[in-house]
Amino acid sequence: MQKYDYLIVGAGLFGSVFAHEATKAGKKCLVIDKRAHAGGNVYCENVDGINVHKYGAHIFHTNDKTIWDYVNQFAEFNNYVNSPVSISKGKLYNLPFNMNTFYQLWGTKTPEEAKSIIENQINEYGYKNPKNLEEQALSLIGKDVYETLIKEYTEKQWGKKATELPAFIIKRLPVRYTFDNNYFNDKYQGIPIGGYNKIIEGLLKGIEVKTNIDFFKDKVALSALSEKIVFTGKIDEFYDYKYGNLEYRSLRFENTRLEKENHQGNAVVNYNDDHVPYTRIIEHKHFEFGKQKHTIITKEFPEQWTKEKEAYYPINNDDNQNKYQQYKALTSKESNTIFGGRLAEYKYYDMHQIIASALQKVKKELN
């Protein structure tokens, strides 16, 4: 006898939102995760009052009021605004690319001055139909910004030449002719007061969750527990890599506790230069305006992915997308398995997009 309506594989945002909504509709869910905790990559570890984003910094932002209201059911959000800075060849620049950045690069003080430099560079180096990240960046912002703040960061982040990467990655970054260092264009932004764990706890309240369970180690028995499966893990692994593995980028985090109040004055400092082996240093307390006497910093080192490592980023170039389409064709033949999330959809999703997608899929399912 099947004990559950849904076995949800993966207790990240997609799985947790799905479980929450299905449970609310009277369905019985079991959520499993191979890690020792729920929360997926938004999980935080509290170290003497500082929420350490264990799997990389997460800043919530959305333009969608429904999604904003949805997360606000579980936690109140603070007014943190992400304004990273980047260090390149010994100089510090504001991000995203805005009037402050242009002043720091060229000394330009007005939008006309900055625009004229950028437009000249776009005319000289840009492309009508940019086919890769380098061509896209040159066409969007010109050569100086590309060479000072994008090229080396990007190539170390992805372990590939910017000419081998998809253009869409760089479209994430705004270009502005105002003195506005807000990294996001979205209407709503912040960090949940009390940390992301509060949101996950709220979503999974009253739902059976089992951690330290690897679905692939006991697939047959686990699958027999429920009528349907919601799978949020790696799509290629689900099909035993039958078309070969998709490529991912992994990360290694090096955490250090420092007995001082403030190390870098900002939550996020990027390091563009290729001789610096990490892409950024996160100082977690600044996400929550922490006043502790100590601080925790994390250096983020991009790494080549292998099957034993965490798959953080899908590498959505043409080769991988073609392979993903083969796997996707198999998923459409499944009647009892629902696929969702960054790994199962092989998509560079942000948190708000995952939530929207989970809500949409669960709604469709329950109808």
Binding site for ligand UDP (CB under 6 A): 86, 95, 149-150, 153-154, 157, 169-170, 172-173, 270, 272
Cβ distance to ligand UDP smaller for residue 226 or 272: 272
Cβ distance to ligand UDP smaller for residue 42 or 230: 42
The one catalytic residue among 69, 172, 261, 319: 172
Among 291, 270, 267, 288, which residue's Cα sits nearest to residue 279?
270
Among 349, 357, 358, which residue's Cα sits nearest to residue 22?
358
Handedness of CA 121, 123, 125, 127 (dihedral sign): positive
Q: At what angle do helices 151-158 and 133-141 cross, to 10 degrees?
A: 150
CA 344/CA 230 separation, integer angstroms? 10
Nearest-approach distance from CB 147 to ligand UDP, in angstroms: 11
Tokens of residue 23, six digits: 């449970």
Among 158, 139, 138, which residue's Cα sits nearest to residue 148?
138
Q: Which residues, in sequence order, are bridge partners of residue 85?
A: 94, 269
313: helix, coil or strand?
strand
Tokens of residue 97, six digits: 């690319």
Cβ distance to ligand UDP smaller for residue 170 or 281: 170
Cβ distance to ligand UDP smaller for residue 192 or 314: 314
The one catalytic residue among 45, 64, 176, 180: 176
Nearest-approach distance from CB 349 to ligand UDP, in angstroms: 10
Tell me phi and psi for residue 254, to 5 degrees: -115, 110
Nearest-approach distance from CB 216 to ligand UDP, in angstroms: 27
Nearest-approach distance from CB 270 to ligand UDP, in angstroms: 4
CB 246 within 8 A of CB 235: yes
CB 31 within 8 A of CB 21: no
The single-letter DSSP state of residue 264 is S
CA 84/CA 82 separation, integer angstroms? 6
Nearest-approach distance from CB 142 to ligand UDP, in angstroms: 14
Direct distance between the N- and C-terminal alpha carbons of the chain, in angstroms, rounded to an integer: 24
Nearest-approach distance from CB 139 to ligand UDP, in angstroms: 15
User: Is 300 part of the annotated catalytic residue set?
Assistant: yes
Cβ distance to ligand UDP smaller for residue 147 or 365: 147
CB 118 within 8 A of CB 146: no
Cβ distance to ligand UDP smaller for residue 9 or 150: 150
User: Is 280 part of the annotated catalytic residue set?
Assistant: yes
Nearest-approach distance from CB 202 to ligand UDP, in angstroms: 24
CB 153 within 8 A of CB 86: yes
CA 238/CA 72 separation, integer angstroms? 33
Cβ distance to ligand UDP smaller for residue 219 or 309: 309
User: What residue spans of 185-287 are helical by DSSP H?
Assistant: 196-204, 219-223, 235-238
User: Is 176 part of the annotated catalytic residue set?
Assistant: yes
Nearest-approach distance from CB 111 to ligand UDP, in angstroms: 22
Cβ distance to ligand UDP smaller for residue 67 or 230: 67
Residue 170 Ramachandran class (φ > 0 left, ψ -120 to 50 alpha, else beta): alpha
User: Is 172 part of the annotated catalytic residue set?
Assistant: yes
User: Is 350 part of the annotated catalytic residue set?
Assistant: yes
The one catalytic residue among 21, 249, 346, 349: 249
Among 94, 211, 208, which residue's Cα sits nearest to residue 145?
94
- By annotation, the residues acting in catalysis are 172, 176, 249, 280, 300, 348, 350
